[in-house]
Each structure stands twice: as C-alpha cells, then as structure tokens.
Structure 1
C-alpha cells in the first residue's frame, strides 16, 4: 500500500520525516484492487495509522505573524472604551466577514428538497463564475446582543465593510440608539 500512496505523498520542507498524503481511502481501495487486494476504507485507514504512522490532522492556525510590545495596552484601551460606550448607552459593534462564495452553478454542501435533479460544475474554478462572489458581512451589536447580516457582491473592500455598518445603522441601530448621532 505504501507504493499506492507514494505518488500522492509530500513531505515537510522544514520538518524532516514529516509526510502527508491527500489521497482518499476509497481511491486507495480502487488502486489496490487490480493487485488482488480488496480492503474496506476502515481497514485502509488502520494500515495508514499503524503501519505508515499517518494520522488525520487538521491544520492549526497558530503561527504568529508578528507581535507588538504594546499588545496588552491596546486591549486594555479597547476594554476601557467599551465600558465607557456601554455606560453612555452607545453601541459597541463587532464587524466580521466570512468565506466568499462563487456565484454560479457550483456544488454546495447540504441537500435540497426538489422534484428534479440538481447539477453543478465538476470543478469550482472561479473562471466559470459570473465574475462575482457573494460576500457576507456580519455586524454584531454587543450591547443589544443583536446581529445584522449584509450579503453583497463585488470586491471585498474597506468601503464594503463601512457600507455594512451604515446599513446596520439605518435598519437597526438608529432606532435603538436614538440619542447617538448618525452617518
């Protein structure tokens, strides 16, 4: 089985002896079948774990890009401002965007109720999209414990983030915080 995963195995350029493979268990099962072996994906997983010492891992985002000697002071200042805003009855907003999604006939996770069949491109190449992406922005009001979701298309820019906050304000914020100035 080592030969079957060899062409799909890569090594770490910075850690000697660390390898991984991106080949699936069912693909391995199909590859070894002509050799006279018929193994279930579970048995193949066991061989990969015990014999080849490979394990399923998820990447960890834990490598810092840098640090600041004033980092703690920054967070203390933010906490101080948050307390002051909350005491005055002002909004405290958290703005975040999530994964952009291609618009077009692309596969999506999940299932849908239909009386027909659903079809999508066999690859999610951006060149097959309508040249736009759906960009979700969330504006969370931590004081009111309410959220506003803004779904836009186009490019993810600073203007788009500001527009999400502005739209939150006109649709939800200004009625809740009538004593606070607007945009």
Structure 2
C-alpha cells in the first residue's frame, strides 16, 4: 500500500536535512534502514522520495543485513563519474555568460526574454553544445556564488537636486520642535486592503498540511469592500494611531484622521502644545500639491488653536517616511498570512502590534463618508495664502505653516 503524500513529504524532508552530514556509506545505511522499516515496497518508496537509484537503497539494505562491518573504503580513489566541469572545461564560462548581470540586458542573449530556471539554462547550454542536467546547473551556480534572489525596491527614480537639502531642512525643523516639547508626527495611508477571506502575503506557523484556506479569486466583496488605514506615528512617543477608513482616501479623510488622533491622544500627551509638525509624503491624500489637504489643515489649525507646520519628503522618497518602517512594517508583520475577514480582525490585529523598541498602536474604525472630487478654487487658495497659509523661504511648495484664523469673537 503506497504511503500518503504527506508521509512521503515528511520522509523527504527528514532525509534531505541529514544528507549533508553523512558520507556515502552512512547515507546508504540510512536509506536502507528507512526502506526496511517500511517493509515491502520500501526500497521503491525511499528511492522515489529522495531521487536516489533503487540499487543504492538496496545496497544499503544488504549492508545492514551483513553480520560484520564491510571492510574497505567508502569509495575507492578515483571512483565515481567525473564532474561535468571536468569533462567540459568551458561549461562554466558558457553558463556565466547567460546569467552574469553585466550581460543580462544583451538583446541578443537567448534568455533575454525568458525566466532563468535551471531547466531552461540547461536546455540552452545543451543546444549550444554543452550537454548538462538542470541539477548540475544548479550546483555550478551555487558553487560560484549565485543564489535565488527576490527583487529589492531600492531605486527611487530621478532624484530631485534639492533632495538632500530638503531632508536636512526637515530634520532641523523636527529637532527644533522636539527640543521645544512640541509634537512631531509622521503620517501616511497604508496600502488599501480587501476585507474577506483573501490571501495575505507571508507565512505563518500552521500544522503541516493544514494551511489556511482562502478564496481563489480576489474579487472585492461588495458588502465588506476595502479599508484604507491612515496612520499617525508620534516620533517622540513611539506610538501609532490608525484610523481605518471604509470610504475614499481623500484629503478630508487624511485631516480627519489627524483630528481624531489629536482629540483622543495628542491633547493628553501634549497638553501645553501650541504647535504641531507633520512630515508627509509628496503624493497621495496628503500630497504637497493637494489644495483640499491644505484647506482642511487650516480648519484644523483654527479648531485646535495649533500652528501646524508641514514638511513633505522629496518626490520619490516615500519609503524614507518614518511611519513606513516604524509603524506600517510592524502592522504588516502582525497580519502576515492572516486573512482580514472582518473589520474587527483589522482593528484588533493592529491594536496587538508591538515591537521590541516599545511601539504601541491604537486603531479605530471610521465609517464616515468622504466626498470625492472636491474642488478648491484659485480664489479660495489665494484667500488661504493671504490669511493662514505661510510658505517657508526654502521650498515653500514642500514646507509651509498654517496658523489659526482669527475668529470674529476673538479680541484683537
């Protein structure tokens, strides 16, 4: 009776783990012992599980049955098939030419428009007069310092000439605010997430052979929809506040998220604050060119009595925003491989997020409706600039302050 697939997989994993630590005799004996333990048909099962020749497994069984230790060497000198690199001295040179990063972009390369699996590399080499197997290709690549690599997001496109100067200006502003005991927050919207039994990237410990089952297709559930988690990260306190919106990610939603943070957390943490500094990306619902963002912030300044200073990160540097690697990355780890099946799962998973540096996070659900396409006219923005919006001397498009408006009942 054949072994269940899961049992064969366990056997394969166990044998592969021990293989690098055994010589050929010990390896044969181990295979033989596994075959004997399985009984009838065990030689075939073990050979198939590990990719060994049945004769090798059978030899291990015979050696186990031998009453005394078999004398002699594990392998006589010079025995075994010579390596492909020995029989074909130009093999590595031909393989290296196919995978070397310098020649990767050569439009004449036969693998320019194909994936570089070991089987395709082997087929190409064989066509070019270097007959070789896929496993040999893999061994050659590993022996010469190659390994499977994922893409890494590090290229930020064309850099703005004032990129470094803006970072220095932003850091100077943040340092001055912090030294004065005024709050400095980093804000942004995390990637929107589908709510429902959908797959989430990452892996989680589960009983073997029992992965969490999710929907095959990621079609949005019309009832549950998506969520847009807008985050506020307090840099000095190392605390996060997430406003989980269920509607549009607009400038109005972004400022409402900051308002909720201030009313629930900020006022208690900074009871004597007169100013607030915000660091934000140059795009999205809190973009440097978004008029609605500025007008809503002006309203918040008047409402709270805070002078609000905004410093945007230069274009193309959103991943440098502190909220990305101090808050959002931790939340992504919290819900890795965990389907976000409801709003409650989203909220509670975010609340449970912690780090070894002491991060704590609060989250609330925002069921508000935020109108799309609100237009702020030229006249409105000019009035704002003449009353509340002050652009800094250095890059006023990225750095500006919004002061509370003078109310009619306020004494002059």
- Matched residue, 1:171: 264
CA distance in structure 1 between the partners assigned to 2:186 and 2:204 by the alignment = 29
Q: Alpha carbon RMSD of aligned pairs, Å?
A: 3.7
Task: Structure 2: give runs of 5+ residues left out of the alignment.
Answer: 1-103, 120-133, 207-211, 275-303, 306-412
Is 1:152 matched up with 2:242? no
Deviation at 1:172, TM superposition (A): 0.4
Deviation at 1:101, TM superposition (A): 1.1
1:19–1:145 Cα change, 3 Å: same
C-alpha deviations, 1:88-117, integer Å up to 9, x for none? 2110001133232112332346589xxxxx
Deviation at 1:156, TM superposition (A): 2.4
**Relative to total residues, which structure has the larger helix share, 1 or 2?**
2
- Matched residue, 1:125: 219
Superposition TM-score, scaled by structure 2 size: 0.30
CA distance in structure 1 between the partners assigned to 2:137 and 2:186 by the alignment = 44
- Map 1:1-183 onto structure 2 (within 5 A): 15-16=105-106, 17=109, 18=112, 21=115, 46=135, 49-50=138-139, 56-108=148-200, 110=204, 120-126=214-220, 128-130=221-223, 132-181=225-274, 182=304
| Structure whose alpha-carbon radius of gyration is higher | 2
Q: How many residues align?
A: 148
Superposition TM-score, scaled by structure 1 size: 0.62
CA distance in structure 2 between the partners assigned to 1:49 and 1:130 by the alignment = 49
CA distance in structure 1 between the partners assigned to 2:195 and 2:147 by the alignment = 35
1:79–1:48 Cα change, 3 Å: same
